[in-house]
Structure 1
Amino acid sequence: MTEENKDIGILKEIAELLNEGTDTNAVLSGVLKRLLQVTGLQAGWIFLIDEHGNHQLAADESLPPALAANQNQRMCHGGCWCVNKYNTKKLTKATNIMECKRIEEAIEDYAGETCGLTHHATVPLGAGNERFGILNVGSPYKTHFKKDELALLEAVAYQIGTALKRINLTQKEQENALVTERNRLARELHDSVNQLLFSLSLTARAGVEMTEDQEVKQTFGYIQDLAQEALGEMRALIWQLRPLGLENGVVSALRSYAEILGLSIKTKVTGAASIPGTVEEALWRIGQEALANCKKHAQTTEANLLFHAAKDEVVMTIKDGGCGFHYGENLEIPSLGLKNMKSRTVALNGHFQLRSKPGNGTKIEIRIPY
């Protein structure tokens, strides 16, 4: 078999692997393992890197003990030359990294055996204008990669980038389908079960007024109380699934929710952009939690909501003039609700900022890119 036919066979096999799954880590682990097998290379790892330059070890294979120690801690933290080159956009094609900074530091720290691995090739992962991270591969005592080896790695990296783009699009479609289904369920609950409970409550109330028998009155009264309680829980469930009015925007929904809580809310909206459903859903959940905190803890009935939609990010700020509390950036977030707000924001690669002082109220700012 010629070298060219061998490379075509490798690319075909890699493509088949990449088309099989939708779980990012599983797909990357599988393709990395197979890539090393068919090329004869012995070690490799894949970093996924977000738009803020933060890297995540998404897959690794046959790392030497010095790098694999403490659950790959050395690979998960700190910087290195290949990640720096990627973040500064100097890494545009497959290239030799003459020395690996992580291995060099491991040797200096006497962290364990490196098994002769000193150099690696590094390849950016991308598809079109989208960038996802880097692929690194190497072997013990291999200090140079030939042009045809780098060309093959570039072709594989492009396949991986295309697969990652496909997986991301599939996940977004699934998320949108989930939101759509939740909206449908919320509408059905409102139009059917909610109305039935309301009718039951009215019927029980009429029964109380129509009978003179005290035992029957008590029974109808009990039914009415149960119907009202169930109606309240149903309305809360509908709001959790999809608040009525979110079709008019998250600000309108939060304004309605504040009214239900008994809060007076002032809103200011600037900018105009179409916000993805997943981002809108997260902002609703975060805003809901923030307003509930105002009601429960701030000792005030007034709140302010600022909402700015730019072409590439949305900024939402909720603040109150209530009692506030002691908090600094170096302190742990004090409540589960606030932690949930931050985790929802971070899950969408956003930035969560909390400011509060006793007597000066609380301010929460959410920035989410899209």
Structure 2
Amino acid sequence: MVVGEPSDITLLKEIAELLNEETDMVRMLEGAIRKLLSGSTFETAWIFFIDEKGKHQLVAQANLPASLEDNNCRHLQKGGCWCVKRYHDGDLEKASNIIACQRIENAIPAKSRKQGSITHHATVPLQSGKEKFGLLNIAAPDTVSFSKDELALLESVAFQIGSAIKRIGLTKQEQELALVKERNRLARDLHDSVNQLLFSVTLTARGGVEMSEDTSVQETFRDIQHLTQEALNEMRALIWQLRPKGLESGLLDAIKGYGEMLGLTVETKMTGVIQLPSRIEETLFRIAQESLNNVRKHAGVDQVELYLSVTATDVLLVLKDEGRGFVFDHKANLPSIGIQSIRDRAKAEGGTADWSSEIGKGTEILVRIPY
């Protein structure tokens, strides 16, 4: 099989069309490898994304044997292997036959292998220019190695997939930039219009208290002043949420600044060196925002303790108050909008969020996110 024959050209064209039409990363990758399997002698495929630290993530798979698919693809999800190590070390530059695969050996011990089983695989890096994303692995039953022509086809498909990954990444960056711009615009509009209007109402109500001699009228103006001040505080908090201030000076400073804006004193302790990806940093800031909002609204205290621990693999954020506390039903699907928001933000980054609270003894929130 030589790339350039009508069947291969048709297959590459069909894969290219699928890659160009799809906008969701996982659907795109799974669709591409399924198309590859249907038009070639390859029968099994899976894709790893691999980060700068050599940590891999299984992002797509197709037609895996039961032994590799077992227990949520445990043998592909966990542990190390030769091809991932070679990729991380920069020694894997083209499609290659892998002599021995630790993952297959662990999933299918030699004594359990039989005719028609997967024993080896080939691998090829996914990249666009000098930017590398991970590996495409393919296999077929009773196949120890693939021919040069088959590896050439694999390289052509990998080139297409790498270019598509780059395209989706750039599209996502553009969307995120557009979202940031829209948040900034909305924050400016709220500050310049609604925020200023509420401030003017507060001053007017204060003047009404001083000018009136009627006790009932004064009380009415005081109520207006109080409600308007509360609305003004809510508006300032909303503007902070739309356009985080202080992150350029560091995560802890930003959280402390937000707490001060809410009238809270945030005592911080930290272990490790904060060198987090901007995405993780903003997620932690948003989670801290929501937590501090809950303290201000429900805890009845103005002191909060915040602990941040950063290791080589993950970051732990703990926020603790000694306020009223609450009864939290862990079996509830939606305990509250605020708690669900924190949980969703942590989960979106592959992390977890847990609570510990007791009436009269405060609340502790623990968030752990890998990076």
Q: Which residue of 1 aligns with 2:233?
A: 232
Q: Does 1:182 align with 2:167?
A: no
Q: How far 1:208 moved relative to its partner?
A: 2.1
Show the 5 A alignment for 1:25-44.
25-44=26-45
* Corresponding residue number in structure 2 for 1:5: 5
Shift of 1:174: 1.2
3-state SS of paired residue (1:4): coil
Equivalent residues of 1:64, 1:114 under 8 A apart: no
Q: Contact between 1:257 and 1:288, CA under 8 Å: does it hold in 2? A: yes
Q: Which residue of 1 aligns with 2:102?
A: 101
1:117 deviation in Å? 1.0
Give the drift of 1:12: 1.4
Partners of 2:164 and 2:208 lie apart in 1 by 64
CA distance in 2, matches of 1:50, 1:170: 20
Give the corresponding residue for 1:354: none
Once residues 230 and 83 of structure 1 are traced to their aligned partners in structure 2, the CA distance between those partners, rounded to angstroms, is 54
* Change in CA separation of 1:280 and 1:190 when aligned onto 2, cut-off 3 Å: farther
Cα distance in 2 between the residues matched to 1:178 and 1:235: 20
Partner residue in 2 for 1:155? 156
Give, as a single letter, the amino acid of the residue that structure 2 aligns with 1:220: F
Distance in structure 2 (CA, Å) of the matches to 1:26 and 1:45: 13
Structure 2 equivalent of residue 191 of structure 1: 192
Equivalent-residue separation in structure 2 for 1:345 and 1:86 (angstroms): 28
Q: TM-score, normalised by structure 1?
A: 0.71
Residue 99 of structure 1, CA deviation: 3.2
Do the aligned partners of residues 222 and 29 (structure 1) sit closer, same or farther apart at CA in structure 2, a change above 3 Å counting? Answer: same
Task: Tell me which residue corresponds to 1:169.
Answer: 170
- The residue that corresponds to 1:117 in the other structure is 118
Whether the 8 Å CA contact 2:259–2:266 is kept in 1: the answer is yes
Q: Is the CA contact 1:57–1:75 (under 8 Å) kept in the aligned structure 2?
A: yes
Deviation of the 1:86 alpha carbon: 1.3
CA distance in 2, matches of 1:248, 1:77: 37
Residues 281 and 89 of structure 1: CA distance in aligned 2, closer, same or farther (over 3 Å): same
Aligned runs of 1:335-346 on 2, under 5 Å? Answer: none
Aligned 8 A contact 2:119 2:144 in 1: yes
Change in CA separation of 1:195 and 1:55 when aligned onto 2, cut-off 3 Å: same
- Give the Cα–Cα distance (whole angstroms) in 2 for the partners of residues 129 and 62 of structure 1: 30
CA offset digits 1:196-223 (Å, max 9, x no partner): 1111112222222222332222222211
On the 8 A contact 2:241/2:289 being kept in 1, the answer is no
Q: Compare 22-31 and 96-105 and name the one that shifted more.
A: 96-105
How far has the Cα of 1:45 moved from its partner?
A: 0.7
Residue-pair matches, total:
332
Runs of 4 or more consecutive aligned structure 1 residues displaced over 6 Å after TM superposition: 109-114, 245-252, 286-292, 299-303, 343-346
Q: Relative to 1, partners in 2 of residues 1:141 and 1:251: Cα closer, same or farther, differing over 3 Å?
A: closer
What is the Cα deviation at residue 259 of structure 1?
5.2
Give me the whole-angstrom Cα distance separating, in 2, the residues matched to 1:253 and 1:107. 51
Alpha-carbon spacing, 1:252–1:146, altered in 2? closer, same or farther (3 Å): same
What whole-Å deviation, never above 9, does each CA across 1:251-300 have from its counterpart, x for those lacking one? 9866754754576999xxxxxxxx997577457558869999xx99xx99
Please say if 1:47 is aligned against 2:34.
no
SS at match of 1:96: strand
SS across alignment from 1:52: coil
Cα distance in 2 between the residues matched to 1:159 and 1:30: 13
Cα 1:130–1:348 change in 2 (3 A) is farther
Contact 1:45 1:136 in 2 (8 A): yes
1:279/1:348 contact within 8 Å kept: no
Instruction: Give the root-mean-square deviation of aligned CA atoms.
Output: 4.8
Which runs of 5 or more structure 2 residues have no equivalent in the other structure?
269-275, 309-314, 318-337, 352-369
Check the 8 A contact 2:115/2:142 in 1, yes or no: no
Q: 1:217 to 1:276 in 2, by over 3 A?
A: same
Farther-moved stretch of structure 1 (276-285 vs 208-217):
276-285
CA distance in structure 1 between the aligned counterparts of 2:27 and 2:111, rounded to whole angstroms: 32
Whether contact under 8 Å (2:2, 2:153) holds in the other structure is no
2:219 aligned with 1:218: yes
Query: CA offset at residue 107 of structure 1?
Result: 2.5
**Residue in 1 that maps onto 2:206:** 205
Q: Distance in 2 between matches of 1:111 and 1:215?
A: 89
Query: What TM-score results when the alignment is normalised by the length of structure 2?
Result: 0.71
Distance in 1 of aligned mates of 2:288 and 2:133: 31
The amino acid that maps onto 2:149 is D
- Whole-Å separation in 2 of the counterparts to 1:202 and 1:210: 12
Is the Cα–Cα contact under 8 Å of residues 208 and 221 in structure 2 kept in the other structure?
Answer: yes
What secondary structure, in the 3-state scheme, does the structure 1 residue paired with 2:240 have? helix
For 1:217 and 1:300, the matched residues in 2 are separated by 33
**1:122-149 Cα distance to aligned partner (Å, 9 max, x none):** 1111111111111111111122211111
Provide the identity percentage. Answer: 52
Q: For residues 73-92 of structure 1, what are the structure 2 equivalents within 5 Å? A: 73-92=74-93
Task: Give the aligned partner of residue 241 of structure 1.
Answer: 242
What is the deviation of 1:47?
Answer: 0.9
Q: Does 1:62 align with 2:51?
A: no
d(CA) in 1 for partners of 2:115, 2:235: 61
Q: Deviations 1:33-63 (Å, cap 9, x if unpaired)?
A: 0000011321111111111111111111111
SS of residue matched to 2:91: coil
Letter in 2 for 1:162: S
CA contact (8 A) 1:175 1:278 kept: no
The alpha carbon displacement at 1:156 in A equals 0.7
- Say which SS state the counterpart of residue 160 (structure 2) adopts: helix
